[in-house]
Structure 1
Amino acid sequence: MDVIKVKSNYPKQEKLKDGNILNIRIMTKEDKPLIIEYFKKLPHQDMMYFRMDITSEGLDYWIKREQEELAITLLGFIDQQLVGISALHQDLAASSYHVGYIRLSVSAQHRKKGIASILAHEINAIAFSLNFEKVCVELTPEQKSSKNIVSDKLGFKQEAILKDHIMDKNNQKHDLIIMSNNPNDVLAQLKQRTVFTDTRYGQEY
């Protein structure tokens, strides 16, 4: 991924529904302790939803992918508190380099403020600017609000349901929903409704 043009657009700020300011910047290796602490405070079920290894070793691998430009992660802050994370990872299979995977998490006490929507829009715009031909997100049926965000606002469509694909700490199985969008299709839909210019990436929507 050529992330130079992406990095030039951050840090940035967005106003939330409650009037607070969400400060968004790109993750660095120095953020590892902050991210570990963030995930420690999340319920186990939320950690399961994120679908990534968030142990210390897992974060080392995550950061390594960032340094190799195989991933890019946005961190959202209110004041100095980390309240949300969105990440875009490139598929490692040589035959699927055109596919990106989105991950999204918002702290429990800061939901319903528009943070998830903002971070989802930002990371999806990054996927578009990096010329991914397909972007996927993996959800469980319990993640209704996240599913609504990606389907209603970002044009994701359900591709498949993998039955009993995830097991939680209580050995309860959960289905996995795979959704995807094609950034070019989303762009075409937006152009049918209205035309505007996204100055962050030099793209007209």
Structure 2
Amino acid sequence: MCVDFAVAKYPVTVRLRDGKECTVRLLQSEDAPRLYEFLRAVPEEERLFIKPRLSARLVRQWCRQARPEENLTLVMLHGDRIIGEATLHQRPGGWKRHIGKVTVLTHPEYRGVDVAKLLVKELLEIAPHCGLERLEAELNGERTVAIRALYQLGFEQWARIPGYLRDMRFQPHDYVLLGIKLVTDEEYAVALG
């Protein structure tokens, strides 16, 4: 149901805080060159949670083998340029299958105009339709703009561990876990009586 909802809604047009009109849509296989260019522009410390090393091959594989029922990726485009990416990661089973994970990145030239906030807001609308009850986001402590955007959307800090993370150069970073409880369809039904 989650994938059907997402496919039916997108693409959508959004307006950034500075007035620029942008398009939000699902990641497509032909986005690989644009996505690679976008990811290379994002500072390495912010790409900390992308487990394998960034390569053009990895990005092509990511775009080609998109499985929205597990990793639903939205991109924001200004013209033909990807300026933001947000992914809703879902677990197909297990004891955390009701908890989704959100990752979000914003192009450095488009910071402070609500790119991350708008993308995560879209994921917040999609997540309950996927049967998710909570969302969490793992970030390093330096991601202050992303952390602030998540706070504005209702996320709360669930944990902060100083120096817990190590980047590719083995430099320490704080680990920050943010989370939000979602209102599910069942809760809407109960509230309406």
Q: What's the RMSD between the two structures over aligned residues? A: 2.5
Identity, % of aligned positions: 23
Amino acid at match of 2:78: I
**Aligned residues of 2:28 and 2:64 also touching (Cα < 8 A):** no
Residue 89 (structure 1) aligned with residue 89 (structure 2): yes
Does residue 133 of structure 1 match 2:150? no
Q: Distance in 1 between matches of 2:58 and 2:80?
A: 24
Q: Matches of 1:179 and 1:45 in 2, distance apart?
A: 18
Following the alignment from structure 2 to structure 1, what is the Cα–Cα distance between the partners of residues 57 and 175? Answer: 25
Query: Which segments of 5 or more consecutive residues in structure 2 lack a partner in the other structure?
Result: none
The answer for the alignment partner of 1:154 in structure 2 is 153
In the superposition, the TM-score normalised over structure 2's length comes to: 0.84
Q: Distance in 1 between matches of 2:166 and 2:158?
A: 21
Partner residue in 2 for 1:104:
104
- Give the equivalent residue in structure 2 for 1:195: none
Task: Answer whether contact 1:24 1:74 (CA < 8 A) is retained.
Answer: yes
Amino acid at match of 1:102: V
Q: Describe the shift of the 1:68–1:45 C-alpha distance in structure 2 as closer, same or farther (beyond 3 A).
A: closer
Secondary structure at 1:5's aligned position in 2?
helix
Residue 12 of structure 1 pairs with residue 12 of structure 2: yes
1:148 positional shift: 1.6
* Cα distance in 2 for residues equivalent to 1:52 and 1:11: 28
- Equivalent residue letter for 1:76: M
| Contact 1:51-1:103 at 8 Å conserved across structures | no
Gaps of 5+ in 1: 192-203
Q: How does 1:1-205 map to 2 (within 5 A)?
A: 2-48=2-48, 50-53=49-52, 54-56=54-56, 58-59=58-59, 62-63=62-63, 66-67=66-67, 69-91=69-91, 94-151=94-151, 153-184=152-183
| Deviation, structure 1 residue 70 | 0.8
Deviations, residues 145-180 of structure 1 (Å, cap 9, x unaligned): 2112112x2221222223433212332111211111
Shift of 1:8: 0.5
